[in-house]
Amino acid sequence: METRIFALELDEADIAILGALQRDGRYSMRELARLAGVSTPTASAKVKALEAKGALKSFGALLAPEALGESVLVIEGRARPADAARAARKMAALPEVRACYLLGAGRILATATLLDAALQNDFLKELGAIAELESFESHPLLETVKELPAAVIDRGVMLAVRCEFCGRRTKDEVLRVKVGALTHFVCCKSCKTGFVERMGRLSKLAGKGRGGSDLKVIS
């Protein structure tokens, strides 16, 4: 059965949980439930659902590299627009690179953390060996003037749905497709067709291995 829906609205409990975890990832499920005004099992289910939809990326402490004697560089890179994504992936693969952002017009922004400032020349040589990078500049981070999580949690925020076929995130109208007991989301009729065909092939392969398949794709 096909159902058209819009991006998933977050209720008050969802917003309370996201806001609490963004402030401090150490909250227990019982504490999250109290803050959100729901039961502990409901809070746990909401956290799992938010993780599954990609709203919660990870849980961890925010460490200060300068307090650990480490050196941080900000890198501005340029590549041909056709090569920028490949250059960004190669930059991101370097172990020193902690964050990498693909911007418009072939521009790339990244941050790198070095255990010792004396390692800077070696790291810059590695960057220079990336063929797709036409040029880059590196700047030592002198002071963090402001650093907040990128996501803003407030009333009215909506969960952008990731298409499970093409991977695009959208807040526009999407399609919901049932496969067995699970509900999946796709962004358009074309992706729905491709998704249903893919699940059908997987169902047949699974059926051959078990001597029959009980996976039902409802499109």
Q: Indicate the CATH number for domain 12-57.
A: 1.10.10.10
pLDDT 10s digits, 6-25? 446 678 898 899 989 888 88
pLDDT 10s digits, 94-117? 999 999 999 999 999 999 999 988
Whose CA is closest to 91, among 109, 105, 104? 109
Instruction: Measure the CA–CA gap between 84 and 102, rounded to whole angstroms.
Output: 7
pLDDT 10s digits, 80-99? 999 999 999 999 999 999 99
Could you tell me if 130 and 3 are in contact, meaning their C-beta atoms sit under 8 angstroms apart? no
Q: Which residues pair with 73 in a beta bridge?
A: 112, 140
Could you tell me if 218 and 178 are in contact, meaning their C-beta atoms sit under 8 angstroms apart? yes
Whose CA is closest to 163, among 152, 154, 175? 175
Map out the domains of the chain as residue ranges.
12-57, 65-140, 160-219
Could you tell me if 137 and 75 are in contact, meaning their C-beta atoms sit under 8 angstroms apart? yes
Whose CA is closest to 18, among 197, 151, 108? 151
Give the other-Cβ count within 10 Å of 191's Cβ.
Answer: 20
pTM of the model: 0.59
65-140 folds as Alpha-Beta Plaits (3.30.70)
Secondary structure class of 137 (helix, strand, coil): strand
pLDDT at residue 67 greater than cutoff 80: no
Whose CA is closest to 175, among 48, 10, 165? 165
- What tokens does 218 get? 């409802």
Residue 160 DSSP label: P
Residue 40 neighbours by CB under 8 Å, 6+ apart: 29, 30, 33
| pLDDT at 3 (0 to 100) | 42
The amino acid present at 205, given as its one-letter code, is L
Query: Regarding beta strands 133-140 and 182-186, do their DSSP bridges make them parallel or antiparallel, or are they unpaired?
Result: unpaired
